[in-house]
Copies of this chain bind each other. A is one copy, B any other.
Amino acid sequence: MLSERRLQVLRAIVQDYVGTEEPVGSKALTERHNLGVSPATVRNDMAALEDEGYIAQPHTSAGRIPTDKGYRLFVDKLAGVKPMSAPERRAIQNFLDGAVDLDDVVARTVRLLAQLTRQVAVVQYPSLTRSTVRHVELLALAPARLMLVLITDTGRVEQRMVDCPAPFGESSLADLRARLNSRVAGRRFSDVPRLVEDLPEAFEAEDRGTVSAVLSTLMETLVEENEERLVIGGTANLTRFGHDFPLMIRPVLEALEEHVVLLKLMGEAGDSGMTVRIGHENAYEGLNSTSVVSVGYGSGGEALAKLGVVGPTRMDYPGTMGAVRAVARYVGQILAES
């Protein structure tokens, strides 16, 4: 177990390195933080921290920089979450309150998050599978062609074409529309399959094929996880990665375009609470020199989707976590109101 002072030294190293982007030495440390001991003592502590793997020297006889393990300890034990100031919170709320629809909420959230953290922001659209159904609409586009429109409580709209095995009359259509809505409106997506499975039985034999087709299309829409959409913003902040950004930026940009990868990454993060993945903790190689801070957000007590930021491992964790948490809360409120 590390002594209290050594933890303080680690904290100071992380803070200084995050601020200056340069390896920090024992002398500078004692000057900037009043640790109450001499550089020589700090040197000993640093040697111990290095033995434990919390910090490293880029080259012999240079200062130390934190390792992923060092950041991990910092995040877990040494740093809290820095709350947003009152004006900041007001600004967040004002900015998000101006949104007119779901797309706008998401777009604004991404912008906001990127600006607040000065990093790359990632926002996942509210997941279909955890939302509830507001309304299901059926439109006859042609005698044997229907359009199925699904509207969620978060304002998301999904539509699919359905080709009917047989012509489907207007009255049958109205009947199906009414029955469908009475069963599923207000229910969670995950419950839908159970709620509608016996629906074909209520119809004449000739219409059952069509009803089944509609239902299976509905299921597909619910299940289709590749429909999990992401919006990304603030990529210009990648240029603030540090001096070696030309090397890092490419794999990161590639990763950001691979929405599948990002979704997996954010999906793996725990459902509740904030998750911080530091450097090599990210399974995806392109993000090995970045940290990902993510948190669930939702209209109720439950998370509908995730949002977060991607930045250099050398980031201001308390500030970033504070911003991410605050934004997630306000977005949740907005969604709950609408």
Contacts and interface: CB of A to CB of B under 8 A. Distances in A.
Nearest to A252: B236
A236 B135 CA distance: 40
B159 A137 contact: no
A246 interface: yes
Given A137-B139, A141-B135, A250 B239 contact: yes
Q: How many copies does the complex hold?
A: 2
A160 B249 contact: no
A157 interface: yes
Interface string A257-300: 10000000000000000000000000000000000000000000
A161 B104 CA distance: 14
A101 B137 contact: no
A149 B139 CA distance: 11
Nearest to A139: B135
Contact of A149 (B157, B160, B238, B256): B157
A277 to B, nearest CB: 21
A67 to B, nearest CB: 26
A308 interface: no
A205 to B, nearest CB: 29
Contact of A239 (B149, B151, B236, B246): B246
B257 A249 contact: no
Nearest to A158: B157
Nearest to A149: B149
A110 to B, nearest CB: 9
Contacts of A161: 101
Contacts of A239: 246, 249-250, 253
A254 B257 CA distance: 16
Interface string A231-254: 001111011000001100110011
A147 interface: yes
A187 interface: no
Nearest to A234: B257
A137 B134 contact: no
A246 B256 CA distance: 19
A137 B137 contact: yes
A216 B307 CA distance: 34
Contact of A159 (B157, B233, B234, B254): B157
A154 to B, nearest CB: 12
A5 B151 CA distance: 65
Contact of A135 (B147, B246, B257): B147
Given A101-B160, A235-B257, A246-B246, 14 more contacts: A135-B141, A137-B137, A137-B149, A147-B151, A151-B159, A157-B159, A233-B257, A235-B253, A236-B254, A236-B257, A239-B246, A239-B250, A245-B246, A249-B249
A-B pairs, top 4 by smallest CB distance, nearest first, are: A236-B253, A239-B250, A236-B254, A157-B159
10 contacts: A101-B160, A135-B139, A147-B151, A149-B149, A155-B159, A157-B157, A157-B159, A235-B256, A236-B257, A239-B249
Interface of A: 101, 134-135, 137, 139, 141, 147, 149, 151, 155, 157, 159-161, 233-236, 238-239, 245-246, 249-250, 253-254, 256-257
